[in-house]
Structure 1
Amino acid sequence: MKRHFQISRIKPNASMATPSVLPSGFTFVDNFQGATAAVSELSTAIETALEQMSLGVDLGLQLKQLVHGLDKEGSTYDNSKVNEQIPCSEWQCSRATAELVSLAWNCTHETYNTANDIVDPSRYSVQCEFVETPSLGEGVKAWTSTLVSPLSNSAEKSEFLPVLVVAIRGSASSMDHVVNVNEPPRDASHFIDPSVSSNPGLLANATLLKQAEALSESVSQRIQLYADARGQHPKHVLLTGHSAGGAVASLLFLHYISKSGLGKRARFSCVTFGSPPSIAGPIDVSRYHSTNSATIAVNLVNEFDLMSRADSTYAMSLVNLARSTYGQRPIPLDEGGSSSSSGTREPSPTLTRDLSASSRNVWPVPKLGCHHVGSRVVLMMRLDEDEIQLRAVEVPDSEFEKLLFCRMSVHNGVCYSERIQLIQDGIFNRRRGWTGKEVQGPINPKCL
């Protein structure tokens, strides 16, 4: 069932925008509103816009104004893009890793459109062995399992192959679920061993954790069958997904490497695309990779992708950014992070601290409430030597949490497909291909 977003009726209010500014049609912009209601309305608007963009449906006037307004206003701040002066290292990606990332994306894309060819049939043997459709009830997401093996006559040998790829589909309601302010993070220690976190206790986004738990039994059964069939041969499982599907995949990855007996029968990798963070507190998986060779855990994020930062506190910052485009004052927060019912308190310093003394024009954003699992690679299109080129850099939490990403168009599959193809071809970080001879002309990206 598709969700149709309805614009709220605007009621006269003392806090309405000045007569010189046209009303937006959104209650959270035009009227003074509590933080919880404001975040909920913004989340619904964003998820509707994302769904309509993915379907190629023209946005209505008010949604279009919101989408363009957030992007335009956000782009005026210095922290709307990755500062190339900060200590971010270029992603060290081998050809084998690039091919695994490409396989992950192709299988992820297949969960949305099963008519696509997953990989080059001249190089790989592909068996799509299982397709799970989503349940009508809440919780179970669609997913597929695909066994990918290299052909015996393939010139390149990969340490990652053969591999069972478990791809989990995102959902149109990702934004609304991920930033649900009425459902605080849940204890995840029953599902993931707390030893993977440096913080005492282990909390995860409640909705994403619920979805991972709902999938764990059926996914585990499929992995068990794969491990049995492989016998004494090496076993590699890749968990992947786009948007909220990737966040669920990362929770399953942590479950298998820390809590499940399957972690001793196979080695696991995780590759996500444009996924929101899912775990409260930094996660260190380096020890797992050091004892399990030929495994990776990486989150690929298009620069500006709003979903890569989605949580309730970040959504509140976007609420106030949207209000600023219409000349409205920020919605105040109390010390606990919720709105003041009277509307008379000063805004929380976390979201509206005075940055006038800073040498840069920065929109204040909250620190990360949740974290990605594994390294985070931001994919950026940059003008270099008079050409648009792809740069892939690893951005640490300390820098990522300063970024104001509020563009929706770069979250779609077209943008990720284009950039993953460049990575597969070795055309990034000033490379011209894996042999240096593949590319003869300039790159003409459709998505920036």
Structure 2
Amino acid sequence: MSTRLWHPFSDMAAVDGNEFVVDRAEGAYVYDEAGRAYLDGCASLWYCNVGHGRQEIVDAAMRQMSKLEAYSCFADIANRPALELADRLADLAPVDDAKVFFGSGGADAIDTAVKLARAYWQARGEHQRVHVVSRETGYHGTHGFGTSITGIPPNRDGWGVLPGENTVAPLHDLDGVEKVFAEVGPERIAAFVIEPVTGAGGVHLPTDGYVEGVAELCRRHGVLLVIDAVICGFGRLGTWFGIERFGVRPDMITFAKGVTSGYLPLGGVIVSGEVAAPWWTTPGERTLRHGPTYSGHPTCCAAGLATLDVYERENLIARGGELEMPLFEALAPLTSHPYVHEVRAGFGFLAAVELEQDVLDGVRDAPNVLLRAARKNGVLVRGLGKGVAVSPPLIANDEDLALLAEAIRGGLDALPLEAPVPAAPGA
């Protein structure tokens, strides 16, 4: 039966009438309409950190909807959940004198952060500072600026003219970043936007000194540092926002996903007092003419507050660090499989299994073929450009990780190659 639902990032000619329908979920597992259970190996889309079926988050949203379901936060209007959530996030974030600007998700947050960075320099009189630097494999959503600064070329191509004044720097090459700064002219750069661990671009783990080096480079040249913590935040790297592991205090942090564990759409930007100052100092002088309809949505913020309570009560934020080596140890044996080029794991509770180039050449849409094969083995994973990624809920246990590795291995064995890829020497 044909579908009228247009799926994001999907080959609709192939998907049409062939959907995998998720019916319910509980804990670290989801169930299809036939009642079969699947380990949620990717926490839906990197976000269900506290697991499914948390009744207290549902109840908090219901209570708020019964009292005040929604109302604009434009001008001087506020609501108690938005005020309280802003206070809690500001206190948790490694950002000086933090302010919080809410939106509906990560893409909103990135567009807000880029516009804020450029507007900050305009307010300071440095009108030439409009350029934004990002890095290879970085994913920053699909809104205008997020599409423009992405480090994933297929996401940037095919749209015609995009917002300009941006450059993608090398992934792990500090000298390459220095070269980009020199070529652009640091006096023209408004901000550097970076994920501590690139997520949708392939789960590329940080190399020693890179993030710290970027932060120092930005400090030296007065460039604003924007940390995209949409995936890396709320325990995924074992801290609240991920960037704490590097000892770096950025100018802005974008967040979404784990702030409500995906129970309701919410995101935003945590902004330093210095960057916020042009709009917070003199009444009547300046208004930021930017903001989505649902900024500070009371029901979404109530869900966020309840989610933070779960993280704190169950000490889940630290789990991302505690589980990084068990995840690495579960997946590392896959490197001996002749179809596997690399396993990237060991920093945070996320990982990628990249396929050999011969497999990518020999099997059309190999990552999604592997995804579907793993699903038959009872595990949901995320298909990426050259392989699959995993990021289970923070409540996952050792048995779940063993099942995850077993399902991926079974999926690899099921890849329809006409001739096996020869094993690497010593494998």
Band of TM-score, shorter chain: under 0.3
> TM-score, normalized by length of structure 1?
0.25
More helix by share: 2
> TM-score, normalized by length of structure 2?
0.26
